[in-house]
Amino acid sequence: MFFPTRRCSAVPIQGFLEDYVFVIQALFDLYEASLDQSWLEWALQLQHTQDKLFWDPKGFAYFSSEAGDSSLLLRLKDDQDGAEPNANSVTVTNLLRAACYSGRTDSGHAEWVEKAGQILAAFSERLQKIPLALPEMARATSVFHHTLKQVGPGLLSCAVGPPEPAGTKPLPSVVSLDRW
């Protein structure tokens, strides 16, 4: 899906987990800012692709690289945030956002919540021993347990846009209650 290239090289390099994670995060941010459905659809599509390319069903977290790269002897999973948070840390929140925004209409809904919990479980020992090594994942743990609540359509009814029926679009029934 992502093909960054090296300078003076005609052969594309396959995208890495970080490429997907940070684009998905940005797409969710764009969706929240604009409520433009196309950003959400793209984010959900990329999340499905990320799951197919990088998910480790045995270790319950995402590898940093794809399985098909024959030049790799070992596929790694980052377990520390640096200047930028590691991809698995950001992915926990991305998965929860994807699950909330997709509701029950997307096939990944329950699977994404489960994967978020599996990532937290996979890194739980590191989080308990050295939480400063994974501050973004510590924050994501809080999000997993305390926020991103879904408000049912019957409980919230809002519209955004001009009052003319053709110019309005329903506000998604998903709200982070911490913002209100």
Q: Give the type of residue at 72.
A: L
pLDDT of residue 154: 39
**Helices 135-146 and 87-102, packing angle to 10 deg:** 20
Answer for the pair 140, 122: CB distance below 8 angstroms, yes or no.
no
Q: What is the pLDDT at residue 67? A: 79
Burial of 165 from C-beta contacts in 10 A (0-12 / 13-18 / 19+): exposed
The mean pLDDT values, 10 residues at a time, for the chain of 180 residues are 56 80 96 92 94 93 83 79 91 92 68 93 93 91 73 43 54 44
* Angstrom distance (rounded) from CA 99 to CA 112: 6
**pLDDT at residue 176 in the model:** 43
CA dihedral 108, 114, 118, 124 (to 10 degrees): 130
What is the token pair recorded at 60? 């319950």
pTM of this structure: 0.75
Confidence at residue 173, expressed as pLDDT on a 0 to 100 scale: 45
Question: What is the structure's pLDDT at 118?
Answer: 96
